[in-house]
Amino acid sequence: MEGEIVRLQNIVKSYGKVLALDDVTVAIQHQEIVGLVGDNGAGKSTLIKVLSGATRANSGSIYFKGRPVRIANAQDAIRLGIETIYQDSALVAQLSVARNLFLGREPVRRTGLFPTLDKATMRTETGNLIQQVGITKKIHPDTPITALSGGERQSIAIARAMYFEADLIILDEPTNNLGIEESAGVLRFIREAKAKGHSSIFITHNLHHVFQVVDRIVVMRLGKKVGDVRKADTTIEEIEQVITGMVDSIGMGTA
Ligand SMILES: Nc1ncnc2c1ncn2[C@@H]1O[C@H](COP(=O)(O)OP(=O)(O)OP(=O)(O)O)[C@@H](O)[C@H]1O
Ligand SMILES: [Mg+2]
């Protein structure tokens, strides 16, 4: 499959007097990894919140695979195939790894009078999945999320996005506060997701991480998109200059 997965067109979002998004247009292609960068308060999280249904834009349109769509809440986004992964909030701490993986989509057995949770299937599938996403440590499916490190939790959230075949995986600062090894794990998952045909939006302040995995970089500054450039056509130094405003903008032709 080819072509555009999602397009945010002329998105405007204000919080009172703060214009968080000032007429932003961004498109993500099939199997593309886009790095979304910019200083604190630039509008990155607000943009992906519009896309993941966590907030509504004041104006603008969203297209999914070329079709205009309404994303009013998180369910709408998930139904379309958009999974958003935050450092912590994506998982329910009290539940097991297996329960988290199947949250809201649990397999059921219909042998008796009432459908019951198919725990055996959940355990087996969870075991397979943990291996597939490359977690080498032995994690039992019944392990509570609280017993996992930040990076391991991240991996579980990513595994869920991959298992349910999200077309677009959004990661908002997934490598924040992670160790070197855990960060490398997250970057590996993003690459593997791409290899399997998924698209991703990757938000981080770490430009070295960005340059390791993305195809394209979108730069936000004070609510405006000021950069949209293929990684191959730029450098870390140049992106830094656009982020700070030393350079006005870069490569705005693609969307
Ligand atoms: N719920 C809110 N209420 C009021 N203002 C908000 C709200 N959320 C964000 N803002 C403001 O909107 C602007 C954009 O914020 P946003 O969170 O999108 O920035 P960001 O690029 O993700 O920054 P960071 O790198 O610090 O996460 C900022 O000025 C911020 O203070
Ligand atoms: Mg943010």
Q: Cβ(81) to ligand 1 under 6 A? A: no
Q: Let me know the angle formed at the C-alpha of 131 by 130 and 132, rounded to the nearest 5 degrees.
A: 95
Q: What is the predicted pLDDT for the residue at 128?
A: 83
| Ligand 1 atom closest to 223 (CA) | 14
**Any atom of ligand 1 within 6 Å of the Cβ of 44:** yes
Could you count the other beta carbons within 10 Å of the beta carbon of residue 91? 22
- The rounded average pLDDT for each run of 10 residues, N- to C-terminus, in the chain (255 residues) is 89 97 97 97 96 94 97 87 73 80 78 82 85 73 84 75 82 78 81 91 94 97 97 97 96 67
Q: Is residue 255 part of a domain?
A: no
Q: What is the pLDDT of residue 177?
A: 66
pLDDT of residue 129: 79
Asked if the structure places residue 237 within a domain, the reply is yes
User: Looking at residue 89, what is its pLDDT?
Assistant: 56
CATH number at residue 232: 3.40.50.300
Q: Which amino acid is at 249?
A: S
With respect to residue 186, please indicate whether it lies within any of the assigned structural domains.
Answer: yes
Q: Which of 50, 47, 77 is nearest to 64 (CA)?
A: 77
- Residue 93: half-sphere exposure toward Cβ, Cα within 13 Å: 7
110 within some domain: yes
Number of structural domains in the chain: 1
Beta carbon of 45 within 6 Å of any ligand 1 atom: yes
- Please indicate whether residue 101, judged by its CB atom, sits closer than 6 Å to ligand 1: no
Spacing, Cα 92 to ligand 2 middle (Å): 21
pLDDT confidence of residue 146: 85
Residue 125, domain extent: 4-244
Residue 249 included in any domain: no
List the one residue out of 87, 79, 65 whose CA is nearest residue 7: 65
Let me know if residue 251 belongs to a domain: no
pTM: 0.84
Instruction: State which ligand 1 atom lies nearest to the alpha carbon of 44.
Output: 21
Within a domain: 28: yes
Say yes or no: CB of residue 174 within 6 Å of ligand 1.
no
Q: Rounded to whole angstroms, how far apart are CA atoms 155 and 133?
A: 7
Q: What three-state secondary structure class fits 113?
A: coil
**How far is Cα 34 from Cα 228, in angstroms, rounded to an integer?**
9
- Taking the alpha carbons at both ends of the chain, their separation in whole angstroms is 20
Q: Is 40 in the pocket of ligand 1 (CB under 6 A)?
A: yes
Residue 58 lies inside a defined structural domain of this protein: yes
Ligand 1 atom 2: the closest Cα is on which residue?
Answer: 15
